[in-house]
Amino acid sequence: MAPYVPKYVRPEDAAASRAQMKRRLIWIAVLIPLAFAFLMYGYSDMAPGPLRNGIITLDRALGYPILWLIDAIAR
């Protein structure tokens, strides 16, 4: 059996790959709290009726994880 020889990756390609991974992680770190804030707004009294109904319908379909999370934070 031939020994394992790792694939050569140019330093420029490795740097570009790391930069792309950093961009993805930054977007994920921004989008999760933003999505949570949007869902909390959807449950508030200030949200328009259709948005509130849509958020509640989505939450009901998933088994109320959003309401459970809001309740856990509020305690």
- DSSP assignment of the chain equals -PPP-PPP--HHHHHHHHHHHHHHHHHHHHHHHHHHHHHHHHHSTTS-HHHHHHHHHHHHHHTSHHHHHHHHHH-
Residue 13 inside a domain? The answer is no
Distance CA 47, CA 35 (A): 15
Residue 21 inside a domain? The answer is no
Residue range 7-55, pLDDT digits in tens: 999 999 999 999 999 999 999 999 999 998 998 899 889 999 999 999 9
Residue 10 inside a domain? The answer is no
Count structural domains, the chain.
1
Residue 38 inside a domain? The answer is yes
Which domain does 57 fall in, by range? 30-75
Residue 12 inside a domain? The answer is no
Residue range 54-73, pLDDT digits in tens: 999 999 998 999 889 888 98
Residue 40 inside a domain? The answer is yes
Residue 47 inside a domain? The answer is yes
Distance CA 64, CA 34 (A): 19
